[in-house]
Amino acid sequence: MTPTPHPRSAEIQSRRLSRIPAFTPVPANTRTGRARRDGWTPVRQAEFIGYLAETRCVRTAAAKVGMSREGAYRLRRKRGAEGFCAAWDFILGAPGTPRRKVTLDGLMQRIRHGTYRPVLRRGRYIGTERKADSSALFGMLKRADRRISPAPAAPHREADRGQEKGR
């Protein structure tokens, strides 16, 4: 296993990102079901990821969206932050990060909120695209189809077959 390079190393700093993977934002507070206006809203999370790609510095990216470095790391540790962590790790060059397991909660979150993808032009963050995630909906339907067992076929009786042949 090769050691991961430090995010501030010349190897990582010189790497130009042309595309950041889309991610599902971390869910809002579970008690109220919505994010605070001054907290980590889905748009603010996407902007943070965009600025992180531009600056490669967590402190600077957090400051650009009006949040703290500690708050960003706290958000990263929250339940449901797998997509956010994957985008963060991709930007800071953590090679070979394992693909995250797709859970029902994750699919529902992607169906409800869609995905956010920060857009970079010439290495600069210029905005965020929000897209409905229809693949999550199809994945949920596929899982539902697997759970519904097919109705057992009616057994064919010899007497039925004999009557059909006699016609």
Dihedral Cα 112, 18, 53, 3, nearest 10 deg: 110
Contact status, residue 75 vs residue 91, Cβ threshold 8 Å: no
Q: What does the buried/exposed string (b/e) look like for 48-63 if buried means 16 or more CB atoms within 10 Å of the residue's CB? A: bbbbbbbbbbbeebbe
How far is it, in rounded angstroms, from Cα 37 to Cα 88? 23
How far is it, in rounded angstroms, from Cα 118 to Cα 28? 19
Task: For residue 79, give the amino acid letter.
Answer: R
Q: What is the pLDDT of residue 60?
A: 93
Task: For residue 116, give the amino acid letter.
Answer: Y
3-class secondary-structure state, position 123: coil
The CA R_g of the chain, rounded to the nearest whole Å, is 24
What the block records as the tokens of 144 is 């539902």
How far is it, in rounded angstroms, from Cα 26 to Cα 85? 9
pLDDT digits (tens, 9 = 90+) for 19-48: 677 888 888 765 666 667 778 988 899 899
pLDDT digits (tens, 9 = 90+) for 111-165: 887 888 888 777 778 887 888 878 778 888 887 887 776 655 666 665 555 555 5
pLDDT digits (tens, 9 = 90+) for 81-108: 888 888 888 888 765 555 556 677 777 8
Q: What is the pLDDT of residue 20?
A: 74
Task: For residue 62, give the amino acid letter.
Answer: A
Put simply, whether the predicted model's pTM sits higher than 0.75 gets the answer no
